[in-house]
Amino acid sequence: MNKQLIDRYGRIHDYLRISVTDRCNLRCVYCMPKEGMSFEPDHRILSYEEITEIVKVLAKLGVRKIRLTGGEPLVRKQLDRLVAMLAAIPGIEDIALTTNGIYLASFADALKSAGLTRVNISLDSLKPDRFAMITRGGDLKRVLAGIEASRKAGLAPIKLNVVLMKGINDDEVESFLRMTVDEPLHVRFIEYMPIGKQGQGWKGEYLPLAHVWDTCKRTGLRYDACREAFGNGPAQYYRLEGAAGTFGLIHPVSDHFCETCNRLRLTADGNIKPCLFWSDEFNVRRHIGDAAAIESLFFRALDLKPESHEMALALSGERMSRVPTARTMSQIGG
């Protein structure tokens, strides 16, 4: 390997998040509006062959880890075929999936057989009615079945993503923490982020993750920091005394982790996003068939990647240095 994807701040990028669709079978309150979403027509979505060609170029530049996202990636037909295609690329060592879990019980075995390594499952409430409200119609039982199917299939680690929202699910922190005691589950609490056309409304539901520590103190739950790494992301991990699993904190707003960012994003319609928050995008689809041009565009995108996002400024209402993205989380891929 002669080249690496290193930006001007010295950050090595070995991780690519690939959105395979902007469509979803749910309408989670922090991800997309209840109505009025317009989705890309099929002909504008990258094919599996196009995705594979891009990843082949990036693997030669040091990308080792892939995450498939959406929308909901499991609404895309034969996703296991894409997993197998990516797993066959020399240099790709880890393929993960982020999913809402609704369809996971039906596909866990096939995905594992194709080469999927592990899975992240969105789970913002353990109360059926509240879960249905947050997801606008989701069935909690199906997600719990997906978690069990993933465990039986041998996908590990299994991470549960919890977007913590003030006045909505902040009273469930203890319940989520206790899920990690008997099973090797890794619960990750994530701060609500100002992504997409949300105006200022998100501020009322934003909650710093200090709330997790407050809950531990109030309930007498004791924990220690973990030295192990449980994936490629920015979470700081901890373990309750005697627990089989862990819990992690991802706080992009109150304590950003940009100095260690190792990821780039590829949207379902073929755009490179150097940073989740900013509007900068570079269309790579038009270069399919020209490996040198694909490589050059990724380096160009990386060269323009800023030192940090400024979500904390968005929270405080201060002036930002760039234009935030107008895309929703489902359109970007998270």
**What radius of gyration, in Å, describes the C-alpha atoms of the chain?**
19
Mean pLDDT in residue range 142-147: 98
Residue 79 in tokens:
């996703």
User: Dmax of the chain from CA atoms?
Assistant: 59
pLDDT at 256 over 60: no
pLDDT of residue 115: 98
Give residue 253's domain range.
Answer: 15-332
Counting residues of the chain whose pLDDT is more than 90, the rounded percentage is: 72
pLDDT of 311 strictly over 60: no
pLDDT tens-digit map of 43-100? 999 999 999 999 999 999 999 999 999 999 999 999 999 999 999 999 999 999 999 9
Q: Is the dihedral of CA 262, 59, 265, 108 positive or negative?
A: negative
The verdict on residue 282 lying in a domain is: yes
Report the mean per-residue pLDDT for the chain: 90
200-223 residue pLDDT tens = 566 788 888 999 999 999 999 999
Within the chain, how many helices (H) and strands (E) appear?
10, 12
Assigned domain for 250 exists: yes
CA-to-CA distance for 264 and 262, rounded, in angstroms? 7
Question: Does pTM surpass 0.85?
Answer: yes
Give the bridge partners for 164, in sequence order. 191
Q: What is the pLDDT of residue 280?
A: 83
Read off the pLDDT of each residue in 137-155 and give the average, rounded to a whole number.
98
Examine the pLDDT at 124 and tell me if it is beyond 90: yes
Position 133 in a domain: yes
Tokens of 199: 């105006």
The whole-number average pLDDT for the span 308-331 is 65
6 within some domain: no
State how far the Cα of 80 lies from the Cα of 59, in Å rounded to an integer.
20
Number of structural domains (the chain) is 1
Any domain includes 9:
no
pLDDT at 84: 98
C-alpha to C-alpha distances, 105 to 113, 139, 146, nearest whole angstrom: 14, 13, 4
What's the token pair of residue 321? 């240095």
CA dihedral 112→116→120→126, nearest 10 degrees, is -10
Residue 7 lies in a domain: no
Question: With bands split at pLDDT 50, 70 and 90, how would you rate the model's confidence at 307?
Answer: confident
Res 37: pLDDT: 84
Categorize the per-residue pLDDT at 40 as very low, low, confident or very high, splitting at 50, 70 and 90: very high
User: Is the residue at 5 inside a domain?
Assistant: no
Nearest Cα residue to 309 out of 255, 231, 232, 235 = 255
Task: Please report whether residue 131 resides in a domain.
Answer: yes
